[in-house]
Amino acid sequence: MSTYIPPLEDMQFVIEQVLDAPASWRAQPAFAELDGDIAREVLEQAARFATEVLVPINGPGDKQGCRWSPEGVKTPDGYPAAWKQFVEGGWPALACDPEVGGQGLPNLLNAALFEMLCASNHGWTMYPGLLHGAYEAIKATAVGEIRERYLPKVVSGEWLATMNLTEPAAGSDLGLIRSRAEPLDPRPDGSIANGDRMAITGNKIFISGGDQDMTDNIVHLVLARLPDAPGGTKGLSLFLVPKFMPDGTRNNAWCDGIEHKMGIHGSATSQMRFERAEGWLLGEPHAGLAAMFLMMNAARLHVAMQGLGHLDAATQKAVRYAQERVQLRAPLRPADVPAGGGPDRIEWHPAMRRILLTLQAQSEGARVLAYWIGVLLDESEHHPDEARRRHCTNLVALLTPVAKAFLTDLGHRGADDALGVFGGYGYVHEYGVEQHVRDSRIAMIYEGTNEIQAIDLVMRKLLDSPRRSDALLAEIEAEAAACTADGLALEAGALTAQIATVRGALEALQAARAADPEAPLRVADDVLHGLGHTMLAWAWARSSRCAPRHASPAQRERKREVARFGLQWLLPAAQWRWQRVQDWALPLPWVRT
C-alpha cells in the first residue's frame, strides 16, 4: 500500500552540509570533476530507477520467489528485465576504476545508491550486491587473459558474480573449508602461479545468486585448498570458476537446490556443487583469505546500507500510515488543530509518537554515520596526503564493523517496531512492512555475523591498537568543541560525557584483558552497541550543528528537535552498555539444561 520514497533531501543535507563531501572531493584528484550538482543528479537518477523499476517487483517477487529445477534457477518475474535496465544505466560500474571501464565515482555515492536499491527491493539487490566485491577481488588479483576476459564483464554487469565461501561445516570458521583444487597443467617443479588452470571440487552453501536467469554467464569466486595446503585459513586460495567456459561449454559448477528462507525470496540462495569444475587461481597460492579481506570494508559498508535502507523505508511507511490512520482521542493535539471531533491521527498518540520519533532519529543518525564511513573510505583510497589516508584507513577499520552490526540491528528491530505502528495491518503482506522485517534479518548474519563483527571490533580494531579509538575520540571531541562554539550546550555536553565514558570503559577493558583474556569477548556486544549509540549521538550533534544550512527552513528547526530527542530519550537508555563493559568481571556461567 505505502511505498518507499528515496530521501533525496536528507541525503543531500548529509552529503553536502553535514559531511561537506564536496570539499573532500575537491581535495582528491580522482574526484576533481565531481561536485554537489553532479552527485545530486546521479542520486536522482538512482532514485528513479529504484522507485520505478525495483519497487513494483518487490512485493510480487517476495510472493513468487525463485524457482529451482535441474535446468537452473528462475528468478521472479521482472527480475531479468530490471537487471538489463540496471546494466544499460551503467550502474554496476558506478564506483569502478575508470581504467577498467568504471565511472570512477566515490564509494559514498555507491553507498547511497545501494541504500535506495535495498530499501526498494532487498531480494533483487542481492545480485548486484556482491558484484562490487567480486570486482575488487578480480581487479586486485587477476592477471593476463583471465583479467581481460572477466574484469570488463563484471564492471559492466554483463555477467554477475558469486562468492563461494561457506560450506555446511564451515560458516564463521572458514578454516574448516574442505573444497579442493588440483592443477590441470602441473609444472614439473610442482610450482603453482597466479592464473594456473585448476579442477575445483567441493560443496558450497548459502551462495547468493549461485544460479539465476539474469545474465548469460556467472563468475563464481571460490575459496578452496590447493594440494598440500596448510590447514586452517592460511591454506585457502581463491579461484575463478565460470558457469560457462570461454568456448561455450557448460562447466561442472552446478546449483543443486535453493533454500526456502524467511525473507529475500527473490534471491537464489544456492547449494553449489563443483565437480572438477574448471577454473583459475586468482592471486598467489594460499592467499585467498587475504584477497577476500581486500574487499571486506566495502562489502560490510554495503551490508550496513541494507540495514539503513530497511530502517528508512519502514520508518517512512509507518509515519505515513500514522498520519492517515485515526483511532481514539489523543490526550494532546498539535496547537494548530481545532478542538472537538476525533478520533485522532495515531501519530499524535504518545506511544506512537515515541516509536516514530525513535525510528526517525535512528534512521537519520545512521545515515550520517554510514555516509561518513563512505567519505572516509574514499579518502583512505584517494586522498593525496598519506597521513590523511592512514588516518581515514584507521577510522574505516574501526567504524565498519560497528556500522555493519549496529545498523543491521537497527534496521531489523526498527522494521519490527514500524510493523507495530500498523497494528494488525502490519502483519499482512500487502502493507509491505512485514517484508522489511523478514528481509532485514539476514543482514545481521551474513558477511560476518554481528557477533563476529563485535569480536573483530574489540580484539583487532580496539584493544590491539588503541590509537584507533584515540583518533575517533578526537573526532568526537572536535565535534563537541564545534557545538560549544555554536552555543549548542546539550549537544556538546552529551558528546563530552560520551568521550569520558568510552575512554573509561576501554581503559577498563584493556586492563581486564591481562587478568582475564575472556573478558573482552564477554562484553564485545556491549562495546559494539555502546559505540554505535555513541556514534549516533555524534551524528545527531553534528546534524544539529549543521541544521542552519539545511535547504529547507522547516528542517532547520526539525533537525535540532530530532537531535534533542535522540540525545535525551535514546542515548541515556543505552548507557548500560558501557556500564556492562566496566562490569566485565561478572561471571558468565556455562550453559546447562
188 or 587, CB closer to a second copy?
587
Window 240-269: residues binding a second copy (CB under 8 A): 259-263
Residue 158, SS3?
coil
DSSP assigned state of 211? S
Residues paired with residue 222 on neighbouring β-strands, in sequence order: 164, 239
- How remote is the C-alpha of 84 from its chain's centroid? 24
Window 429-488: residues binding a second copy (CB under 8 A): 429-430, 434, 437-438, 441-442, 444-446, 449-451, 454-455
Question: Using the rule CB under 8 A, is 340 a contact of a second copy?
Answer: no
* Degrees, nearest 5: CA angle 407-411-413: 115
Least separation, in Å, of the C-beta of 391 and a second copy?
A: 30
Among 273, 353, 388, 389, contact with a second copy (rule: CB under 8 A): 353
Least separation, in Å, of the C-beta of 548 and a second copy?
A: 17
Among 44, 77, 148, 173, contact with a second copy (rule: CB under 8 A): 173
Among 327, 474, 477, 489, contact with a second copy (rule: CB under 8 A): 327
Rounded Cα gap, residues 111 and 126, in angstroms: 14
Least separation, in Å, of the C-beta of 231 and a second copy?
A: 11
458 or 495, CB closer to a second copy?
458
Rounded Cα gap, residues 507 and 511, in angstroms: 6
Least separation, in Å, of the C-beta of 334 and a second copy?
A: 5
Catalytic residue (choose from 347, 379, 434, 447) = 447
Residue with cell 591454506: 235
Rounded Cα gap, residues 84 and 336, in angstroms: 50
Least separation, in Å, of the C-beta of 90 and a second copy?
A: 32
Among 28, 75, 166, 501, contact with a second copy (rule: CB under 8 A): 166
Among 328, 474, 485, 500, contact with a second copy (rule: CB under 8 A): 328
**How many chain residues are in contact with a second copy, going by CB under 8 A?**
87
Residue 19, φ and ψ in degrees, nearest 5: -100, -10
Q: 523 CB contacts (<8 Å, ≥6 apart)?
A: 458, 509, 580, 581, 583, 584
Among 332, 474, 511, 551, contact with a second copy (rule: CB under 8 A): 332
E strand or H helix at 410, and its extent? helix 386-421
Rounded Cα gap, residues 131 and 114, in angstroms: 12
Contact between 199 and 189 (Cβ < 8 Å): no
Residue 447 is among the residues annotated as catalytic for this protein: yes
Among 81, 193, 428, 500, contact with a second copy (rule: CB under 8 A): 428
Closest CA to 381 of 27, 49, 137, 92: 27
Least separation, in Å, of the C-beta of 124 and a second copy?
A: 18
Question: Using the rule CB under 8 A, is 293 a contact of a second copy?
Answer: no
Contact between 397 and 430 (Cβ < 8 Å): no
Window 191-220: residues binding a second copy (CB under 8 A): 205-206
Window 389-418: residues binding a second copy (CB under 8 A): 412, 416
70 or 517, CB closer to a second copy?
517
E strand or H helix at 273, and its extent? strand 269-282
Window 47-106: residues binding a second copy (CB under 8 A): 63
Among 230, 341, 350, 504, contact with a second copy (rule: CB under 8 A): 350
Judge residue 352's burial from the number of C-beta atoms within 10 Å of its C-beta, 0-12 exposed, 13-18 middle, 19 or more buried. buried
Known catalytic residues?
A: 447
